[in-house]
Amino acid sequence: MARMGWREPNRARWVGIRPAHEGEQVTRYDGVANGTKVMYTVPVGRVLYLCSVSGGLAVVAPGSALMALQSGGISYYIFAVYHVQTAIGISVPFGVCFSIPIEVPSGNTVVLYSDVAGLSIHGSFFGWVQ
Return the pLDDT at 19: 53
Return the pLDDT at 81: 67
Return the pLDDT at 1: 37
Kindly report, residue by residue over 23-72, the tens digit of the pLDDT: 888 999 999 999 999 999 999 999 999 999 999 888 888 888 888 888 87
Domain ranges of the chain: 24-129
| Whole-Å CA distances, 44 to 50, 54, 70, 109, 129 | 16, 25, 15, 12, 11
Number of other CB atoms surrounding residue 92 within 10 Å: 15
Q: Is the pLDDT of residue 10 over 70?
A: no
Question: SS in 3 state form for 42-111?
Answer: CCCCCCEEEEEEEEEEEECCCEEEEEEEEECCEEEEEEEEEEECCCCCCEEEEEEEEEEEEEECCCCEEE
Return the pLDDT at 109: 93
**Domain boundaries 24-129, CATH class:** mainly beta
Kindly report, residue by residue over 81-130, the tens digit of the pLDDT: 666 665 677 788 888 898 888 899 999 999 999 988 888 999 999 999 98
Which candidate, 97, 123, 98, places its Cα nearest to that of 110? Answer: 123
Return the pLDDT at 28: 95
**More confident of the two residues 13 and 50:** 50
